[in-house]
Chain A
């Protein structure tokens, strides 16, 4: 059977088709904003034609959508109302009140999705232990429903204090509101998040209601129109957690799809790593405007239960928080189009970007600012005549752009180009340290999987800086997110806040009970009985009295309280250098993911005496280790599994180039991946 992956990004729709023999075909079409579904269907036709696969052979389609996040970014959702516990209608206005840019007198707060005039409240109160202080009065709910009806709002979010501990009031209110307000999209907070911290949970409910209509209209149109190109099969949607969900599940909780696209890349990296024998990887996906990084441990991407939409410059508090299971990604404003400039006497790269239009100076579309891609061109890392998407690069324009920068720094052109490359790599290195070391993962034990157009160009250098021993460049790395879609599994994640001290007598019994309950709930809502699933369990733990949880993966079969506490302490010491000797440990959050098993791909190992079956070209390239040097440019399509190439050299393909550093060694894996072994020293 054939399978289809459809990844919608900012500028392009990436499509990938896997035929029944495991052959992969890629297609890229412009994401026309006026008729996105039309762009998708024409892309589907194109990739089927290219592969000579009849549409009827496609048994499954997997999709990553940005519709939800774009609705928030562009503020195109419907008029949305908010209902809270009396005294708390301003939760969305007050927020966490973090001064996210300390010295900026012109600072702004993230703009809420709900206007203050559409915020309502009613008398009810649940306490932190779940007990009810003030009962919900049904006639008051009906009265407030009438007020909300008057406003003409089309969507509504309800957040009562401590509903994570006892959701009764929210649920009862939702029943009454649904009756009183037919046609209204209603989300109650305990339905999308069971975590304490009222602002974050309230905002999650608001986002869910705000994007629901746009997401459902779009997905329905997609499902209606795919049959016109012969695709009439179930469409699975990538969630922010990296797992797939059915259309129905997504329509219930669209908020879970916000980070659909970025998640796909990480899922891909996890699978590429695992199939090559690297279960622990750093996923590094560098595109035109940003780079994204995430850690994968034991084949499973690290997850978080919190992220922010529209964050500015990676600063916490600058975006709208969402409490959902998401892959723990860090996004860096460094991409191929990032502009280099001198600020405060020092070279900086990004976050300003030349975007796709005008793009880097070398695109020849009128851009004059030097970008990362311009620098890479001048360093010899890209082929001017065969760049991604068939663009011919304008070397002179790149030179002129970089010369301006070089002059203001008082250095020569080549040094400036190297500087841009180096500073861009450094910024990414810092961001990666934050998601790895600070989460207790040592980058030196991870393999770096390089995706996106820029991943293979910067990856080997980044690997060296991080102390990583091997960088992996999968086939068609630049379309990594679309490929990741085909590697994802159907999954269901649940997170719950529930305190359990591990030194309690009954801790092991309770621990097993909570997990069993969550597993059962996840199973009931997503899988048919008897379906083969893998249970992945992660506990958010801390010393009693602390406020932040450290995520610790545990084996659900061996959920012994003492052992769990030991694992926690091991991780804690690794990260912070000490343990709180004898201090009790508690579990706060319980994350359970059920993942439908997928058959592992079989890859047979091969040996080749000569890596390159063709005749490599030569090009002059700059490395700080060697200065300007002539190196071989191997065509990726002519490389043979089992062969080894020695750096310095380049491996070129139509959409990207792998830059192999002096002293490093490239092994061509059986599946065609490049394994860049970092042997050279910094």
Chain B
């Protein structure tokens, strides 16, 4: 359908419809978070929600995880192929987690409901949650090593009806429950998705009733076009150009080679091309990145350099962007590739693109950021006698900007947040022994990179399996324009003890009671030469313990008293 098929709606109606649809997506997100059972959803914000029109186009997404943005339209299309719209009824919920149908990796679980108004389909509402566990070889289902094929990674659902007219399909709940380590958490989260869908479908139907479906549809057509135009206007303000950048992932497990990532960015008029040709082939591990995930973070970058947070996320803003990744490469893996370990890649896609874009729009990007760490522990909790899966995030910082220092301890590209230590200790057999900034870890520069973070966790259970998931133990976060790289990260087992040793960034390791694992996220890159940093800023960094007196002297040439 083109815009001319619709009655024209005035700009004010467009604003009303757009605002309401975005608000519905937010209301869904809030319901989902409030009803969820797992820490990563209820405290960490690892989920998203969106509203689609009856034609399957995404109209609005909540301001939550951007990871699912590129994926959702793809997912909905596959669901509708399996369950055509005329076979759906109010209260139905269709789910899938097949990575090649858009989920990207098995833990991301998508759910969709149709919204009906007086018997007529008016749209779809969609939710995605990162589930705590979906089976596979290690707790939390994100093990990188020892996994070479998708079928090893856990339960895979193609489009499946989970609720029929509001009634749960017991067999499917049983199937999911039987294949995951912590069924209560997982099924509780799935029901929270249903709560979000209920809220969304009800609101969407009401809204169509209030303003009329033709008005909503015409307004949607218009604001998708406006969104596209907003991105294009910004792109026209950027000089045309082409730039290439190369970065490396350390490896995909102990003893494996580095993975070369390459992109060539071309801005031409109001079009944007991201071409990942030159990137290494897919790996024989679970560290691979599907196109849908790549697309989500390509879109992240396109938005960050154009419309930022001025307008809500929707499909219109994707239109000026074209993405090329050769089949079989790391960013476009072919079956039977394993995929579950991709979580650490979100910021790496952005950094790769920012590296190239720094040559075209240096003031709209930042230097590379501290690599976040996503370790998962599992075993039997001695306090309850039941299986636990402890899923954690440790956030490094953000790279320096063209006119600002980077930030300490905040994710560069995702909406997840720290899970309070008091909540973690109350629910898992662990003690957090320290959680602090790492001095001198931010890359020196005119603008200094954000500091990395150290988190030490002691085991209170016997026989715990840890899947480590991080990077930049070998290749540091790059600085820009003379700014230095951030400090490398490391993971250390039992620091200060006789058996102290380093763990690999993607190792799966067995721990015993009393073991302490120290996660040290890498620091972020600096921006501009350190020699240009004002002396007062260096002195302040020393006073605040972000830079040691020795580094002030060696890197900045600033001597401090005492």
Contacts and interface: CB of A to CB of B under 8 A. Distances in A.
A617 interface: no
Contact of A344 (B307, B425, B431): B307
Interface in A86-124: 86-91, 93-99, 101-109, 115-117
Nearest to A548: B34
B417 A98 contact: yes
Interface stretch (B37-45, B78-86, B474-482, B507-515): B37-45
Given A345-B229, A576-B199, A98 B31 contact: no
A46 interface: no
Interface string A332-375: 00000000000111111000000000000000000000000000
A87 B434 contact: yes
A580 interface: yes
A94 B434 CA distance: 12
Contacts of B188: 543, 545-546, 580
A575 interface: yes
Interface stretch (B190-198, B253-261, B274-282, B495-503): B190-198
A198 B364 CA distance: 35
Contacts of A344: 226-227, 230, 307, 310-311
Contact of A89 (B227, B307, B436): B436
Nearest to B199: A576
A204 to B, nearest CB: 14
A99 B435 contact: no
A577 interface: yes
A103 B310 CA distance: 9
B244 interface: no
Interface in A161-176: 161-162, 164
Given A87-B435, A196-B420, A546-B35, A93 B309 contact: no
Contact of A97 (B307, B366, B418, B546): B418
Interface string B422-452: 1101100001111111000000000000000
B66 interface: yes
A438 interface: yes
Nearest to A101: B309
Contact of B45 (A98, A415, A577): A98
Given A105-B364, A317-B417, A575-B31, A346 B434 contact: no
Interface string B386-429: 00000000010010010010011111111101101111011000
Contacts of A198: 420-422
Contacts of B343: none
Interface string B362-399: 00111000000000000000000000000000010010
A344 B226 CA distance: 7
Interface of A is mostly: loop
A599 interface: no
Given A344-B311, A345-B11, A682 B210 contact: yes
A90 B195 contact: no
Interface stretch (A297-305, A395-403, A427-435): A427-435
Given A576-B198, A578-B194, A93 B426 contact: no
Interface stretch (B18-26, B118-126, B171-179, B287-295): B18-26
A215 B421 CA distance: 32
A115 B437 CA distance: 14
A117 B547 CA distance: 12
Contact of A106 (B210, B404, B421): B404
A426 B19 contact: yes
B526 to A, nearest CB: 15
Nearest to A418: B12
Contact of A133 (B43, B227, B230, B431): B431
A347 B16 CA distance: 10
A104 B182 CA distance: 36
A434 B545 CA distance: 42
Interface string B220-238: 0001001101100000000
Interface string A297-330: 0000000000000000001010000000000000
Nearest to B45: A98
Interface in B148-198: 184-185, 188, 191, 194-195, 198
B7 interface: no
Given A434-B27, A682-B210, A105 B304 contact: yes
Contacts of B413: 99
Contacts of B434: 86-88
A102 to B, nearest CB: 6
A422 B34 contact: no
B422 A196 contact: yes
Q: Which of B35, B191, B310, B543 has the most CB of A within 10 A?
A: B35
A547 B47 CA distance: 15
Nearest to B437: A90
A430 B25 CA distance: 12
A548 B11 contact: no
B27 A94 contact: no
Given A97-B418, A576-B195, A197 B423 contact: yes
B37 A409 contact: no
A454 interface: no
Q: Which of B12, B20, B365, B411 has the most CB of A within 10 A?
A: B12
A514 interface: no
Given A196-B422, A346-B223, A116 B546 contact: yes
Contacts of B226: 344-346
A338 to B, nearest CB: 15
A548 B42 contact: yes
A234 B310 CA distance: 49
Interface in A184-211: 196-200
Given A101-B309, A197-B420, A578-B191, A117 B545 contact: yes
B456 interface: yes
Contact of A127 (B210, B431, B543): B431
A101 B31 CA distance: 20
B435 A88 contact: yes
B409 A433 contact: no
A550 interface: yes
A430 B420 contact: no
A517 B473 CA distance: 53
Contacts of B194: 578
Given A197-B420, A548-B33, A430 B409 contact: no
A102 B66 contact: yes
B55 interface: no
Nearest to A198: B422
A87 B436 contact: yes
Contacts of A422: 12, 16
B74 interface: no
B411 A115 contact: no
A128 B425 contact: yes
A198 B365 CA distance: 33
A616 B469 CA distance: 74
B461 interface: no
Given A105-B365, A434-B27, A577-B202, A423 B12 contact: yes
Interface in B491-545: 543-545
Contacts of A196: 420, 422-423, 426
Interface in A14-39: none
Interface string B53-73: 000000000010010000000
Contacts of B436: 87-90, 94
B395 A97 contact: yes
A546 B37 contact: yes
B537 to A, nearest CB: 15
11 contacts: A95-B409, A96-B420, A99-B411, A104-B308, A109-B408, A116-B544, A125-B431, A164-B422, A344-B226, A430-B23, A545-B37
Interface of A: 86-91, 93-99, 101-109, 115-117, 125, 127-128, 133, 161-162, 164, 196-200, 315, 317, 343-348, 409, 411, 415, 418-419, 422-423, 426-427, 430, 433-434, 437-438, 543, 545-548, 550, 575-578, 580, 682
Nearest 7 A-B pairs (CB), nearest first? Answer: A87-B434, A547-B42, A577-B198, A576-B195, A128-B426, A98-B417, A344-B230
